[in-house]
Amino acid sequence: MLKSNRMDVRRAAFVLPNLFTLSSLFCGFFSIAQSFGAGSTDELHAAAIAILYGAFFDAFDGRVARLTRTQTALGLELDSLCDVVTFGVAPASLVYNWGLERLGLVGMLISFVWIAAGALRLARFNVLAQRAEAKPGKYIVGLPIPMAAMVIVALVVLANQVGGERYILGQGSLALVVLGLSFLMVSRIRFRSFKDVKWRSRKTLGLILLLGVSSTAVWVGLRGAHVFLFLLAIYISLGIAETLLWRHGDNVNR
């Protein structure tokens, strides 16, 4: 009986990370349904928030798997497939219905470029993850697709906060943002993974304090949603600057 109970607990432990992953997938599906059925900016805002919830579940499925020691090849593949939907198809659907729809076929093609770039980004991740020499490193090759999706989410949420406009950028500018993020996903630019950060060091604490003060200033001077976009811009700019100014070693993840 005791052995049977242990087996049941072990099986439940293997299921738990996949439940987080599938929860992220549901958020992506909900967002897509909201985007194409949107009759108001509030529904588009709800679609953006659904992707944000999807990012929450996606951030913890791997951690739960490592904590319970239940990492599997199935979990890795399932995570990537769900990410294509939640951070590929869902943001593309959102940005198309939010502003690119007015560009007609061109807007649809630009939205598809996002999906294609995201799928390629995730496929490359799987290839690198399966290599024996690919160990967790200081840098990530290409902008992670959840991070790229958060930029779109931040723009939609910001637009909703500043007055509910359907978009805060012109269609041309929005198209450039989507294409730029798509390029960053498939690029060789290396972004920090923060796996090597020593959170108790004075340097790290100083940087956290600086970011906290800067974010507070943005919050007070503008609106709350600007902080999210500000932090994303800092992260992306840091990756681009480090790639242009310094040569990294081979300590790369994904």
Pick the CATH number of 2-253 from 1.20.120.1760, 1.20.140.10, 1.10.3470.10, 3.40.50.720: 1.20.120.1760
Cα–Cα distance for residue pair 167/178, rounded to 1 Å? 13
190, 139 in Cβ contact below 8 A? Answer: yes
Name the burial class of residue 90, with classes exposed (0-12), middle (13-18) and buried (19+) by CB atoms within 10 angstroms of its CB. buried
**pLDDT score, position 250:** 46
Model confidence over 9-63: pLDDT tens digits? 556 566 778 888 999 999 999 999 999 987 778 899 999 999 999 999 988 877 7
Mean pLDDT for back-to-back runs of 10 residues, the chain (254 residues): 50 74 95 87 91 91 71 80 95 93 92 96 82 61 93 89 64 91 94 64 56 54 68 87 68 49
Model confidence over 162-171: pLDDT tens digits? 765 555 667 8
Query: Structure pTM?
Result: 0.82
**pLDDT score, position 113:** 97
